[in-house]
Amino acid sequence: MRRRAADFRRSGRRRWSTRWIWALLGLFFVAGCILFVVHHNHHEGRAAQLVMENSVSKRREAHSSSKFTDEVVSATSFSQQLSEQIILAKAYVVIAKEHNDLHLAWELSSKIRSSQLLLSKAAMRGEIISLAEAESLMKSLSSLFLKAQDLHYDIATTIVTMKSHMQALEQRASSSTVQSIVSGRLVAESVPRSLHCLNLKLIADWLKDPPLKRIKNGRQSSNSARLVDNSLHHFCLFSDNVLAASVVVNSTVSNSNSPKDLVFHIVTDSINYGAMLSWFNGNNFSGSTIEVRNVRELSWVNASFSPVVGPGDVKDELPKLQDPKDTSLLNHLRFYTAEIYPELEKVVFLDDDVVVQKDLSLLFSLDLHGNVNGAVETCLESFHRYYKYINFSNPVVSSKIDPQACGWAFGMNIFNLAEWRRADITAQYLYWLELNSDRTVWRSGTLPVGLLAFYGLTEPLDRRWHVLGLGHDVNIDDRLIDSAAVIHFNGNLKPWLEIGISRYKPLWWRYVDHTHPYLRECTAN
């Protein structure tokens, strides 16, 4: 009990947090229980002093044969009773303050401090508490409890007061949680000064260098045939982060057994197009082929084709959706992969927050057994089945989908585009997206609609192909990370941000070219 009291005092000096809130709720609950017992056993509290005195007298008579035993047993009993009365007194302090009875609250607080001091002194010295002092304090507290009852601080009042406190605390806790989520998103979506500096320098190069501007769609004439050659290994990446995209490409190339067989298809927005093009045309990636395209060139993605795009030409932002995970068209382009690359048969999709650690060429020879999507399942984790992402109260969903179906991960996927076109996955995506126009089937993100669009058409891959959680989980087993072909920094704690998890940051930063003059200048500045 002394430790609990000490913890309570320390928590009052900390920042308001959800843990502190639940601790206080627990205190109220315990106090209410004790208050009920006190009122029930003491006949509304009026006989509290007589009961206590009779109890003390009986203990002394029962142990009169042994003075030592009498002292020890009495001291232990008084210590327990005094600790319980401290908890009850704290509850009465809250109630007294609610009724603006500051004098009673001050008296109770004074006795609480005296009782805690007595218990702590005895504990520090390794001695039993003074029976006379303990008995005096218990009598004083009992008198104050009776006084509180005279003021109608009865059980009913106490329960009502505690309920109101609990409701207020729950509202504060909910508000704090929402604020924490919003703050985390703002930080995660922000661009560090060094990356902004890098973009500006690259855009300046692109604007003043005619050869770069003359490269339409990022295509070199000598590489056009390679962009549609199905004997090569094709990767697609939709990103507005130059450095993150560079790490994906560099890590894939660095761990490939045959870099010259790799072709990267990068689509970015109009703001970052010049910077992305300048970076990838100005750096050598071991002979691999890299195509950079502007999302505005995909003119066929318009309101007549997709219900999430506004009228006219394709937009970089989707105004109908509000969550940051929904507002970027780049996040939704993955569902148009077969349309963007009509000549390709297979492609590996990579998120821009992954790092490749092994050769991925074997993915292209995997048998997907007629399925469209090869992905690592996540239902081995605590909450990754379909019913956790999707609202099954919708009759259309419940009639078509098994709520216990195993979820899977976006971020490293092998797509069979021939089977994609046969199953018309893009049409499935548009169907479910339209069904969720009122946002009742799922709240946000692209994973829920992906689970629906690829339902029954996903081939589970070995878990070592794709390990997730490096952007939010600090306790991932090192052996699992070491064995992973791809590690994914999904979550708000991206490795290029200050808030990134320091334990994992070196895994990402080792694929950044720190010798590049622009990176050195921007980091120094």
Question: Which sign, positive or negative, has the C-alpha torsion 122, 123, 125, 128?
Answer: positive
**What pLDDT, in 10s, does the model give residues 260-307?**
999 999 999 999 999 999 999 888 899 999 999 999 888 776 654 555
| Dist. CA 445–CA 500, nearest whole Å | 21
**Span 193-311+321-524: which CATH code?**
3.90.550.10
According to the model, what pLDDT value does residue 62 have?
Answer: 43
Percentages (nearest 5) of helix, strand, coil residues in the chain: 55, 10, 35
According to the model, what pLDDT value does residue 216 have?
Answer: 44
| Dist. CA 10–CA 16, nearest whole Å | 12
CA 315 from centre of chain: 29
| Dist. CA 384–CA 448, nearest whole Å | 11
Q: Determine if residue 287 is left, alpha or beta; phi over 0 gives left, psi from -120 to 50 gives alpha, anything else beta.
A: left
According to the model, what pLDDT value does residue 175 have?
Answer: 65
| Dist. CA 311–CA 14, nearest whole Å | 52
Contacts of 312 (CB under 8 A, 6+ apart): 302, 303
If one compares 76 and 48, the residue with the highest pLDDT of the two is 76
According to the model, what pLDDT value does residue 445 have?
Answer: 86
Q: Determine if residue 286 is left, alpha or beta; phi over 0 gives left, psi from -120 to 50 gives alpha, anything else beta.
A: left
Q: Which residues of 23-39 are buried (b: 16+ CB within 10 A; e: fewer)?
A: ebbebbebbbeebeebb
Nearest-10 Cα torsion for 155, 158, 160, 166: -140
Over its C-alpha atoms, the chain yields an Rg (Å, rounded) of: 33
**What pLDDT, in 10s, does the model give residues 110-122?**
888 888 888 877 7
Q: Please report where in the chains the tokens 């601790």 appear, as a residue.
A: 23
User: Is residue 64 over pLDDT 50?
Assistant: no
Contacts of 318 (CB under 8 A, 6+ apart): 308, 309, 310, 326, 327, 328, 329, 332
Q: Where is mean pLDDT largest: 98-102, 126-130, 219-223, 315-319?
A: 98-102
pLDDT band with cut points at 50, 70 and 90 for residue 5: very low
Which backbone phi and psi does 420 adopt, to 5 degrees? -55, -50
If one compares 436 and 327, the residue with the highest pLDDT of the two is 436
- Counting residues of the chain whose pLDDT is more than 90, the rounded percentage is 44
pLDDT band with cut points at 50, 70 and 90 for residue 69: very low
How confident is the model over 2-18, as a mean pLDDT? 43
Nearest to 49 by CA among 186, 179, 144: 144
β-bridge mates for residue 328, sequence order? 317
β-bridge mates for residue 238, sequence order? 267
User: Is residue 427 over pLDDT 60?
Assistant: yes
| Dist. CA 524–CA 57, nearest whole Å | 79
pLDDT band with cut points at 50, 70 and 90 for residue 525: low
- Counting residues of the chain whose pLDDT is more than 70, the rounded percentage is 69
Q: What is the 3-state secondary structure (H, E, C) of 132-197?
A: HHHHHHHHHHHHHHHHHHHCCCCHHHHHHHHHHHHHHHHHHHHHHHHHHHHHHHHHHHCCCHHHHH
198-467-341 Cα angle (round to 5): 65
pLDDT band with cut points at 50, 70 and 90 for residue 219: very low
pLDDT band with cut points at 50, 70 and 90 for residue 488: very high
| Sequence ranges of the domains in the chain | 193-311+321-524
How confident is the model over 421-442, as a mean pLDDT? 93
User: Is residue 75 over pLDDT 60?
Assistant: no
How confident is the model over 344-371, as a mean pLDDT? 97
> In this structure, are residues 202 and 518 in contact, taking their beta carbons and an 8 Å threshold?
yes
Q: Where is mean pLDDT largest: 95-104, 121-130, 194-203, 213-222?
A: 194-203
Nearest to 247 by CA among 138, 96, 355, 326: 355
According to the model, what pLDDT value does residue 113 have?
Answer: 87
Question: Which sign, positive or negative, has the C-alpha torsion 243, 246, 252, 255?
Answer: negative
CA distances from 299 to 38, 217, 306, 349 (A): 76, 13, 12, 22
Longest CA–CA separation in the chain, Å: 107
pLDDT band with cut points at 50, 70 and 90 for residue 522: confident
User: Is residue 4 over pLDDT 80?
Assistant: no
Question: DSSP of 269-299, one letter per residue?
Answer: -TTTHHHHHHHHHSS--TT-EEEEEEGGG-T
pLDDT band with cut points at 50, 70 and 90 for residue 32: low
**What pLDDT, in 10s, does the model give residues 133-188?**
878 888 888 888 888 777 766 655 666 666 666 777 777 776 666 566 555 555 55
CA distances from 67 to 63, 81, 404, 451 (A): 7, 21, 68, 75
According to the model, what pLDDT value does residue 512 have?
Answer: 93
Residue type, 375: A
Q: Which residues of 256-273 are buried (b: 16+ CB within 10 A; e: fewer)?
A: beeeebbbbbbbbbeebb
If one compares 334 and 221, the residue with the highest pLDDT of the two is 334
